[in-house]
Chain A
């Protein structure tokens, strides 16, 4: 890779060992993908729950934070994805002391590195949305796909070590979705059914993600009949990224780079697949393997204020038979309390958690501690993930999930 004088100084250790480590890591990844140079970035977002880090990752972060050369803090706004617990409710989740302690150590290390502990995967709704053409280094695939597609920003999937490196160096290797040519559509989809609910948007995203195939594919979608909300596209993108490792999509007439099909080269592509209600229902049906529900979870991505309001409306006058968890960001939680949404959810027997995400919070251990096996959710992303953690996850509407929390069965 071509390096400027400052990058060369970082690589040579002239700006401290931490920056040298970060630069080495970024060059290794950049050269793997054939990046010609670095591109400056303005924000970084780090995924670093301790179930992913493990002891080794936490110790790696601690070593990094303890270098005494005084030049080890991030140089651009750098924030965090959800943590592995809500500290105020860890015992209710069956989480062990060692898990909580790992989280505390991680937070301490990040704070020493100058990272802001926002603990959110919906920073584009709550902290600072990236803008069109802004180069950023974001982790969490849901954040990446939303920022690339809906905001028109430019980022690759940046895993924790790479996002932190970008925060420290203020740049990232220029490859993938930082480049104009990689943002052109590669597969064209025709949708004959515009989803109405968040679970349907997620299911549609999952169907397209599966069909698209891999990270380098860019789906362009025709046929969406009305402007989706931010929450619709949040579930749509998160599921597409989860099922297909997709980082960028275009919806004609909706997303900023695709006013017309030809803007992204879609007019030169044959229709790869037509998708209707049947495909969405088939994906949902493939998870409907049980009736009994042990736990109902709303998470992945964290809920917006308006999702919590909708949930509160459904909770009024109900009494839950099985646990119901609603998980949001630390930025949304205070407003949900102020507006009474949290109280209304908790009056029905639900629990509102903040700053975590269900699958990033030792999901396997929670299952074993709490006896949770069958799980209902309106998140297509969550059902795609939890099978590997030993759950039997089922996808349904918010309304059907709340009904299941009341009866213990998914209709």
Chain B
């Protein structure tokens, strides 16, 4: 495959690499997740039932209320957070939550990032250069991830094949 490198307008956090969960859908920690089990729980969400722990979430836009500003920090404290979050369009709440929760985030592209990054691909997020790099496309088995700070102890989670 051709190398895919996308440059974002907004970025914060540390360099991480992990498997990507990709959907053309929104994201709110309150509305969309069962944070106790670490899975998407909103029935209408395209990633419903899938684990987000240690994954790079690649989604269209931040949704919902202000709770995510606390919830990302709470999820990180239990090693049950995503490795990074990537949005076409972010809102202040998710950025504030990523800052407090020490979760890497990049957002704002000249393309639809959810259409370019393959679901299940292994990707690298580098906030210093504001880049998302696709390291390899999706394989039959999910790759093990290099987790963000505080997540080294998290075991690899196997996710179902893409439902997009």
Residues of B within 8 A of A28 (CB): 12, 99
Closest B residue to A81 by beta carbon equals B66
Query: Are B92 and A215 in touch, CB under 8 angstroms?
Result: yes
Pair B99/A215 contact, Cβ less than 8 Å: no
For the complex, give the distance between the alpha carbons of A51 and B29 in Å.
12
Closest to A172 in B: B92
Q: Per a CB cutoff under 8 Å, which of A140, A214, A390 touches B65? A: A140
Whether the pair A57, B65 counts as a contact (CB closer than 8 A) is no
Q: Please tell me the number of chain A residues within 8 Å of chain B, measured between CB atoms.
A: 46
Query: Using Cβ atoms and an 8 Å threshold, which residues of chain A touch B30?
Result: 52, 359, 385, 388
Selected A-B contacts with CB under 8 Å, 29 pairs = A25-B99, A29-B96, A32-B105, A33-B92, A47-B66, A47-B70, A52-B30, A54-B74, A56-B76, A57-B73, A60-B73, A139-B69, A140-B65, A140-B66, A156-B92, A157-B91, A157-B92, A157-B93, A159-B67, A160-B66, A162-B69, A162-B92, A215-B89, A215-B90, A215-B92, A216-B89, A242-B65, A245-B63, A387-B43
Q: Give the complex CA separation of A33 and B108 in angstroms.
A: 10
- Interface secondary structure of B, over-half rule: mixed
Partner pick for A29 among B42, B62, B67, B95, CB 8 A cutoff: B95
Closest chain-A Cβ to B111's Cβ sits at a distance in Å of: 16
| Complex contact A161–B96 (CB within 8 A) | yes
* A159-B66 CB under 8 A given contacts A25-B99, A387-B43: yes
Q: How far is the CA of A400 from the CA of B96 in the complex (A)?
A: 40
- CB closest residue in chain B, given A144: B66
Residues in A whose Cβ lies below 8 Å from that of B12? 28, 31-32
Residue with the greatest number of chain A CB neighbours at <10 A, chosen from B43, B71, B90, B91: B91
Instruction: State the Cβ distance, B77 to closest chain A Cβ, in Å.
Output: 3
- Is B109 among interface residues, defined by CB-CB distance under 8 A? no
Q: Measuring CB to CB, which residues of chain A are less than 8 angstroms from any residue of chain B?
A: 25, 28-29, 31-34, 47-49, 51-57, 60, 139-141, 156-162, 176, 213-216, 241-242, 244-245, 359-360, 364, 384-385, 387-390
- Within the complex, what minimum Cβ distance (angstroms) separates A169 from chain B? 14
Instruction: Please name the residue on chain B nearest to A54 by beta carbon.
Output: B74
What is the chain B residue whose CB lies nearest that of A381? B65
Q: How far is the CA of A139 from the CA of B70 in the complex (A)?
A: 12
Question: What chain A residues lie within 8 Å of B33 (beta carbons)?
Answer: 388
B61 at the interface (CB under 8 A from A): yes
Q: Mark B9-42, 1 if CB is under 8 A from A, else 0.
A: 0111000000000000010001111101000011
Residues of A within 8 A of B91 (CB): 157, 214-215, 245
Of the residues A33, A34, A53, contact of B74 by C-beta under 8 Å = A53
Contact between chains at B63 and A33 (CB < 8 Å): no
A158 touches which of B26, B67, B78, B92 (Cβ 8 Å): B92
Residues of A within 8 A of B26 (CB): 245
In Å, the complex CA distance between A53 and B64 comes to 16
By a CB distance below 8 angstroms, the chain B residues around A384 are 31
Q: Are A32 and B66 in contact (CB under 8 A)?
A: no
Which of B67, B97, B100 counts the most chain A CB atoms within 10 A? B67
